Amino acid sequence: MGFSPLIKKCGLSLLGMGTALSFAGVALAEGNKNGPTDGNIGYQRSVTPVMDMVTSFNQGLVALMVGIVVLVTILLLFIMVRFREKANPVPSKTSHNTLLEVVWTLVPVVILMILAVPSMRLLYFADVIPEAGLVVKATGNTWNWEYSYPDYEDKVDGYVSNIIDIPHAEKNDGNGNTLTHTQIIAKLDARPASEPHLNGRPYLFATDAPLVVPIDTVVKVIVTSNNNIHAFAMPQFGIKIDAVPGRINETWFKVKTGEEGTYYGQCSEICGVNHAFMPIEIKVVSKAEFKRWVANGGSFKTEYSQNTTGGTQTAALK
The 10s digit of each residue's pLDDT in 66-104 is 999 999 999 999 989 988 888 888 887 778 888 989 998
68 and 141 together in one domain: no
Residue 72 is inside which H or E element, if any? helix 49-82
DSSP state of 46: P
Q: Which amino acid is present at 155? A: K
Whichever domain contains 224, its CATH number is 2.60.40.420
143 and 272 together in one domain: yes
Task: Note whether residue 246 is domain-resident.
Answer: yes
> Domain boundary residue among 44, 66, 93?
93
Q: Whole domain around residue 70: which residue ranges?
A: 3-93
- With H, G, I as helix, E, B as strand and everything else as coil, classify residue 285: strand
The 10s digit of each residue's pLDDT in 212-249 is 999 999 999 999 999 999 999 999 999 999 999 999 99
303 and 209 together in one domain: yes
Task: Note whether residue 102 is domain-resident.
Answer: no
Number of domains in the chain: 2
152 and 61 together in one domain: no
Q: CB–CB of 280/267 below 8 Å?
A: yes
Task: Note whether residue 126 is domain-resident.
Answer: no
159 and 83 together in one domain: no
- Average pLDDT, stretch 9-19? 44
Task: Note whether residue 173 is domain-resident.
Answer: no
Pick from 132, 149, 115, 140: which is nearest to 241 by CA?
Answer: 140
- Average pLDDT, stretch 39-46? 86
Q: What is the DSSP string of 237-282?
A: GTEEEEE-BT--EEEEE-PPTT--EEEEEE--S--STTGGG-EEEE
The span from the CA of 299 to the CA of 304, in Å, is 7
235 and 305 together in one domain: yes
Instruction: Tell me phi and psi for residue 237, to 5 degrees.
Output: -95, -15
- Residue of higher predicted confidence among 54 and 176: 54
283 and 148 together in one domain: yes
